[in-house]
């Protein structure tokens, strides 16, 4: 793990070298300045700073610094499961008359990548992510993957630092509030589901998706996917992750079929 002094020097935008004699004082000052600001934005009092540093650490930053350590990918994996559990639990208890299919649809709209990126934007999460210049530029161009993944990593960090209740309160405040306000982020229509329903209504085979190309560096890849029905290619699409590319391919297929 990179030393906290280096991490928070990056967060605060300070690039000058720190005199070893002043290192401890500088570290405390940087921690105080940045952690307090971050705590205000996420509405949580941090105990273990290291786990939140890791949650904010994108792998491109480690690669640029040529430093050993772990990025936020494992926390993102963990946070995804925690997020889905909290959302499912909330929907189950608050909508007792809703059928399984309806609950699944609402949950998918609440936790899709564009929705997560929107929640992250509300708390200015991109201001704190440690990443390379090229990764930061990809966010500036509208790529949602990095901020969405970091949002999930922060949920995992909160769970590890404060337990399930802390993570639940954060998710209900940042995510479920959109449902209570009647402003569920639908982002893109679920074209894959629409294509599947169309295929079934016409007696066609189940749509098959295949990745035909992957381009770009690891932190900013572009996937191209083709979708086939009855062994005929019906559409292709590109995106910053496989799900986005599949949705784009399904959308094109629907345009050609309808």
Question: Is residue 218 scored above 70 in pLDDT?
Answer: yes
What mean pLDDT comes out for the span 99-107? 84
Of 178, 172, 156, 193, nearest to 93 (Cα)?
172
Name which of 45-54, 83-92, 182-191, 239-248 the model is least confident about: 182-191
Higher pLDDT, 99 or 29: 99
Question: Is residue 103 scored above 70 in pLDDT?
Answer: yes
For residue 32, the model assigns a pLDDT of 56
For residue 166, the model assigns a pLDDT of 97
Residues sharing a CB contact under 8 Å with residue 209, sequence separation 6 or more, in sequence order: 225, 226, 227, 246, 249
| Cβ atoms of 186 and 208 closer than 8 Å | no
For residue 154, the model assigns a pLDDT of 97
| Cβ atoms of 157 and 151 closer than 8 Å | no
What mean pLDDT comes out for the span 58-64? 79
CA dihedral 119, 215, 253, 99 (to 10 degrees): -30
Predicted confidence (pLDDT) per residue in 108-161, tens digit: 888 988 889 889 999 999 888 888 878 777 776 656 888 999 999 999 999 999
**Pairing of the two strands 208-215 and 222-229:** antiparallel
- The Cα 67–Cα 218 span in angstroms is 17
| Cβ atoms of 76 and 160 closer than 8 Å | no
For the chain, list the domains and their CATH numbers: 1-187 (1.10.1520.10), 191-257 (3.30.160.20)
Q: Which residues are catalytic?
A: 80, 152
Question: Is residue 68 scored above 70 in pLDDT?
Answer: no
Percent of the chain past pLDDT 70, that is, above it, reads 79
pLDDT winner (highest mean) among 60-74, 126-140, 159-173, 217-231: 159-173
Q: How confident is the model at residue 44 (pLDDT cuts 50, 70, 90)?
A: very high
For residue 67, the model assigns a pLDDT of 55
Name which of 89-103, 122-136, 147-161, 228-242 the model is least confident about: 122-136
For residue 73, the model assigns a pLDDT of 94
Handedness of CA 94, 100, 106, 112 (dihedral sign): positive
Exposed, middle or buried by CB within 10 Å (0-12, 13-18, 19+), for 12?
A: middle
- The chain-wide mean pLDDT, for the chain, equals 81
């Amino acid at each position: 793990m990179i030393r906290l002094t280096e991490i928070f020097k990056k967060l605060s935008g300070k690039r000058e070298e720190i005199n070893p004699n002043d290192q401890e004082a500088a570290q405390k000052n940087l921690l105080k300045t940045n952690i307090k600001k971050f705590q205000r934005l996420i509405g949580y009092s941090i105990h273990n700073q290291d786990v939140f540093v890791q949650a904010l650490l994108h792998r491109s930053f480690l690669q640029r610094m040529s430093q050993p350590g772990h990025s936020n990918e494992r926390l993102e994996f963990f946070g995804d499961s925690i997020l889905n559990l909290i959302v499912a639990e909330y929907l189950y208890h608050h909508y007792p008359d809703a059928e399984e299919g309806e609950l699944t649809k609402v949950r998918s709209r609440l936790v899709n990548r564009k929705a997560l990126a929107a929640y992250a934007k509300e708390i200015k999460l991109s201001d704190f992510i440690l990443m390379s210049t090229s990764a930061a530029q990809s966010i500036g161009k509208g790529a949602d993957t990095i901020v969405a993944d970091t949002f999930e990593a922060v949920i995992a960090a909160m769970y590890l630092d404060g337990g399930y209740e802390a993570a639940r309160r954060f998710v209900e405040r940042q995510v479920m509030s959109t449902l209570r306000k009647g402003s569920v982020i639908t982002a893109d229509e679920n074209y894959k589901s629409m294509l599947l329903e169309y295929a079934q209504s016409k007696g066609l085979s189940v749509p098959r998706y295949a990745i035909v190309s992957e381009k770009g560096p690891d932190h900013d890849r572009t996937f191209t996917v083709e979708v086939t029905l009855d062994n005929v290619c019906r559409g292709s699409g590109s995106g910053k992750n496989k799900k986005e590319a599949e949705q784009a391919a399904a959308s094109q297929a629907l345009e050609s079929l309808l």
